[in-house]
Amino acid sequence: MTEESLLEIIRQELPISHPSLIVGSGDDCAVVRPPPEGHSLVLKTDATLEGIHFTQETDLSAVGWKALCRPISDFAAMGAIPQHALVTVAAPLARSENEWRDLSRGIGKAARTFKITIIGGEITRSPTTLFISVTLSGITGPRTLLRSAAQPNDLICVTGKLGGSFQSGRHLTFLPRLLEGQWLAAQSGVHAMMDLSDGLGSDLPRLARASQCNFLIEENNIPCHQDSSTQEAITHGEDYELLVTIDPKAWLKLHADWKNHFPALELTPIGTMTSLKTPATPIPPGFDHVEDFKRPL
């Protein structure tokens, strides 16, 4: 199988046209029109690695879905609108034509679901493991949410339920909370937001540090999947839910509106942001990409 034939297989599975696209896959660079007036460009890159984010036996269509949905979840956390993706794949020679097609089909399914165009990328050889890097670009929504904007007394809330993502396989099938993030970003009472990829135990302290706050957590209020403990909900990661801080004065109306818009998804208060004078609730850490290379698969 030549590189050209492989590229043709991949292109068959991917959406490659978008109104903003001038030059797409097949040339040396992609060319896109700048953001419309009133919007800014949003960029994100994310890597998915065999042995860390999936196993050698994982269905490659699920790997492709996850590889693109991971950065989409980051766009959700800022209330942003994804548009274009560049995909780089490094793979051993042993990968078959059907495996390449499965991987591309998973990427294509995620791209179509969230209206993203694959505008190019790169294929290269890896000596041992499969590696996928996605660079996602898009535009800001009406309001951009940052993790640095939480305020003391804000309610700390999470969407959905947490824990047990790897054991259950949910880390391969999750839906990025893109519409929910865009909706939350449009609400005036929402102050800060980020996605829960490394676990509440790592991501909440990051949000607190960025906002120069501390936090108090009621661990009994953390919404857990039935197959998970509170400890696992804090430490496991790969949930891709949203962590949100909300002005308590806006909570009752916002929660009622949330239930009208998203009746099948919970938005649960689990604690309160505090000033730095108040010690933070001690919680165990989640995943750390530098210190912890032994995430259970």
How is residue 11 written in tokens? 């292109």
Same domain, 123 and 160: no
* Predicted local distance difference test score (pLDDT) of residue 3: 64
Cα separation, 137 vs 163, in Å, equals 29
Same domain, 116 and 210: no
Residue 294: pLDDT band by 50, 70, 90 thresholds? very low
DSSP state string for 107-152: HHHHHHHTT-EEEEEEEEE-SSS-EEEEEEEEE--SS--BTT---T
Decide if 257 is inside a domain.
Answer: yes
φ, ψ (nearest 5 deg) of residue 237: 75, -170
Same domain, 159 and 223: yes
In this predicted model, what pLDDT tens digit does every residue of 210-238 receive, in sequence order? 999 999 999 999 999 999 999 999 999 99
Cα separation, 32 vs 146, in Å, equals 26
Q: How many domains does the chain have?
A: 2
Ranges assigned E (strand) in the chain? 21-23, 31-32, 41-49, 81-91, 117-125, 131-139, 155-159, 190-196, 214-217, 241-246, 267-274
Same domain, 80 and 180: no
Q: Is the pLDDT of residue 95 over 90?
A: no
Residue 13: pLDDT band by 50, 70, 90 thresholds? confident
* Predicted local distance difference test score (pLDDT) of residue 10: 73
Segments forming the whole domain that contains residue 167 = 155-274
In this predicted model, what pLDDT tens digit does every residue of 123-174 receive, in sequence order? 888 988 999 999 999 999 989 999 999 999 999 999 999 999 999 999 999 9
CATH code for the domain in which residue 79 is found? 3.30.1330.10
* Predicted local distance difference test score (pLDDT) of residue 1: 61
Decide if 25 is inside a domain.
Answer: yes
